[in-house]
Structure 1
Amino acid sequence: MTKSPQITADPAWFPDAHDANAHALRLTRVSRKTLADQAFLDERWDRSGAEQVSRPVSDFAALALPKRPPRFIWHTAFCCSTLLARCLDKPGTNLSLREPAALMSLANMKRTQGEATLQRELGPVLSLMARPFVRREHVTIKPTNTVNNLIGDVAALLPDARHLLLYSDIRAFLLSIAKKGEAGRAFARQLFTIFAMDGHAIARTDPRDLFKLSDLQIAALVWHMQIAGFLDAARAGGPEHYASLDGDRFLQTPEAGLVAVDQFLGLGLGGEHARATVEGPILGQDSKDPTQSHSAKRRADEAIQTAAAIGPALDAIIEWSYGLFPASPHAGAMPHPLLAN
């Protein structure tokens, strides 16, 4: 049986699942390439045939925090976070981990069991997750957006870490929800119920009033709730630790965007990597399924078509939502932007 000290010494043992009730980790033995190739390191990752072990999180309580803290890409969903993380992956320089399931479990554990329980388990999980496969390689973690409630906890635990706040403006967010049809609208309501557990004032609205809102109105509230969290983080941490990037702005100038992100996160990928990435196939692929094609133009065309189908209600919902969240920035006004608008 593989012992915990052996696991600690071998970065191939990846903490791929967390049991919040048993306070245990499942670790899967994988290669760097396997981790880098997964669109999402959650239940969609096929682990068939991989060696696995389960251990109490407490077995790793003494594991030191990484001397080189991981970098983080926090996002609001539908803003090219998966694509950006793929673009930043380079063997020997930076490993991008996309949406690890263990972090989602920790985020939900904070909501249900409280911050004290989280504090005992966040450090060991991040320490295991941030181990590089080769010396001096960075690790960049892109959690799913329901993990955004951990931004402050991660910053307190890793004060030297750098955080990219990736987002879209509210109009783009609503169009992304709408173009996905019923699945997108259901997802928006699911997000609202999750974020409501994080203490947002809007969540204290009478449920009878919430039921009167349309799906897109709920989606608008979800966007503002996420942006409020980003604003709190950016104001608390300052520009040396936090930077913002509009996903559509990145798509318009991807090479400049990659260079700016690389420099802010301190990854050392270099301008040639950015150039080669932009000239390569990755921007023409669906980031979630590389076998499918995609492009910035297609994204823009779909947005135009979806906006036309919604009609004047789209602008009315946006205006209504800013009446509830007057402190939310409008397009291009997030703090510490990496690219000028």
Structure 2
Amino acid sequence: MNASPIDAPEYLPFRLDLVGQRMLWLRLDAAQRQDAAFLDERALPPRPEGGWLPLSAWLPEASVVPARPADAIAHIGHCGSTLLSRVLDTWPDVQALREPLPLRTLADAWPTRGQADARVSVPAAERLLRASWTAWSRPLPPAQRSVVKLTSSCNGLVEPVLRAFPAMRMVLLDMPLRPWLATLAKSPESMLDAAQAAPERLRLLQARGVGEGLALHAMSLPEQCAMGWLAERLRFRALAEAYSERVLRVDFEALLARPGEVLAEVAAHLGLDAQGLPAALASRHWGRYSKAQDHGYTREDRAHDLALALQRHGADIAKGERWVEGMRDRHGTAVD
């Protein structure tokens, strides 16, 4: 590395190794960042430029108060967050960063930080989060600000980030249960991916006093997914109540149905210039598959796929819906 990543916004924190107590920094140009649907191994250029830096050499020198902290998109997964991120990227002053890998490592370590068997202490975990977010807050010119899209498994970090950076704003994206379950059902890999987060989401329900008697081993896969949807809705509701001025909840179905109205609300919430709205609404991203831009995928294609999923997987989708209705019968407004 010819330049220190501490001072060079060309480099991004790319992989966190808590065993080795080091961070891999990689140089990614504006086009590489814009193209990447995920900032993980899939974003590696043919000849990566960068290197490992010990945390002990970075954290003491890292600025933890960025001039303008990155705003963020958090979501329940498989709900259009990549599309929203790419559309926001059409504003000339915005640099969107999608799902940085170190956030996943931190999210996995966060619940046990400070324990005897943890790789990171409570103060070190918080400093790592602040320092990493500060590095992601440094856009490449001509962009002047960053928007970070979290991985859905990182939602446990949403409140710590909001606490660490009082000037930042957050969009919380989800969708109604039926189309979400249909989205998962049309791709077995998506359903398995959503179920991976079930343990943390079950713990969230338990912490909120509505998880008694629940056990993952007694739940079908659609029920586990429905449980995750409910847990994230409760998390997002609590965040919106606690950070009402800084958090905006967005329904992806509403964004597709009324893109001009909803995107204008998102832009206003993030302080984006309203003059950028026409270009954003005319963006090619609305008609492409967001995670693979070479594939066309229109709103009509999505509606067709969801209708087919409801037809083919209706029993599983109904099973998930019944599970949520049962929770509402037992707990009333606590889970609305």
Relative to the length of structure 2, the TM-score reads 0.88
After superposition, residues 110-189 of structure 1 pair within 5 angstroms as 110-114=110-114, 115-134=122-141, 137-181=144-188, 183-189=189-195
Counterpart residue type for residue 229 of structure 1: R
CA RMSD of aligned residues (A): 2.3
- TM-aligned CA deviation for residue 57 of structure 1: 2.6
- 2:117 aligned residue: none
Give the counterpart of 1:229 among 206, 229, 235: 235
- 2:60 aligned residue: 61
- 1:335 aligned residue: none
Structure 2 unaligned residues grouped into runs of 5+: 115-121
Give the conservation status (yes or no) of the 8 Å contact 2:76–2:232: yes
* Mapped partners of 2:79, 2:23: distance in 1: 30
- TM-aligned CA deviation for residue 267 of structure 1: 2.5
SS, match of residue 74 in structure 2: strand
- TM-aligned CA deviation for residue 108 of structure 1: 1.0
- TM-aligned CA deviation for residue 86 of structure 1: 0.3
Cα gap change, 1:327 to 1:35, in 2 (>3 Å): farther
- TM-aligned CA deviation for residue 254 of structure 1: 1.9
Counterpart residue type for residue 247 of structure 1: F
Q: Percent identical across equivalent pairs?
A: 25
Relative to the length of structure 1, the TM-score reads 0.86
Give the conservation status (yes or no) of the 8 Å contact 1:29–1:51: yes
**Per-residue CA distance 1:317-341 (angstroms, 9 max, x = gap):** 31431332544776xxxxxxxxxxx
Give the conservation status (yes or no) of the 8 Å contact 1:227–1:328: no
* Mapped partners of 2:295, 2:267: distance in 1: 27
Cα gap change, 1:289 to 1:56, in 2 (>3 Å): same
- TM-aligned CA deviation for residue 258 of structure 1: 2.2
Give the conservation status (yes or no) of the 8 Å contact 2:205–2:211: yes
Number of corresponding residues: 322
Cα gap change, 1:126 to 1:61, in 2 (>3 Å): farther
- 2:196 aligned residue: 190
Cα gap change, 1:52 to 1:195, in 2 (>3 Å): farther
- 1:18 aligned residue: 16
- TM-aligned CA deviation for residue 232 of structure 1: 1.8
**Per-residue CA distance 1:159-198 (angstroms, 9 max, x = gap):** 12111111011112111111113x2332232121343465
SS, match of residue 43 in structure 2: coil
Give the conservation status (yes or no) of the 8 Å contact 2:222–2:316: no
Structure 1 unaligned residues grouped into runs of 5+: 331-341
Counterpart residue type for residue 241 of structure 2: R
